[in-house]
C-alpha cells in the first residue's frame, strides 16, 4: 500500500509487481483471517509514506538553507 501511495504522489501511473498472483494471494489470506487487517495495514503504510515524504522535504529544506547561507556569506 505504501508503494501505491508513493507512486500516486510521484505521478507514477503503472507499476509492475513480479509474481502478481502469488503476491495478491498472500495478502488475501491475511485479509480473510483478520477483517481489520486492511485498516491497520493502511494506517502503517500511511505513516511510512508520511515519514518518507517528510524526511525528503526536510532534507530539501536543509539543502536550500545551506545554499542560501553560502550565497549570503559571499
Instruction: Read off the C-alpha cell for 40.
Output: 491497520
Residue 33: the pLDDT is 93
Torsion angle in degrees (nearest 10) through CA of 58, 16, 26, 42? 30
Write the pLDDT tens digit of every residue in 14-56.
Answer: 766 666 778 778 888 988 999 899 899 999 999 999 998 887 6
- Domain range summary for the chain, segments of one domain joined by +: 2-73
Residue 71: the pLDDT is 65
How confident is residue 74, by pLDDT bands cut at 50, 70 and 90? low
Residue 17: the pLDDT is 63
Residue 5: the pLDDT is 82
Instruction: Read off the C-alpha cell for 44.
Output: 502503517
Amino acid at each position: 500500500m505504501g508503494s501505491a501511495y508513493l507512486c500516486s504522489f510521484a505521478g507514477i501511473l503503472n507499476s509492475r509487481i513480479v509474481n502478481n498472483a502469488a503476491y495478491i494471494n498472500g495478502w488475501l489470506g491475511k485479509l480473510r483471517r483478520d477483517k481489520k487487517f486492511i485498516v491497520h495495514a493502511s494506517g502503517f503504510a500511511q505513516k511510512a509514506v508520511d515519514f518518507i515524504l517528510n524526511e525528503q522535504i526536510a532534507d530539501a529544506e536543509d539543502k536550500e538553507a545551506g545554499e542560501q547561507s553560502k550565497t549570503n556569506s559571499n
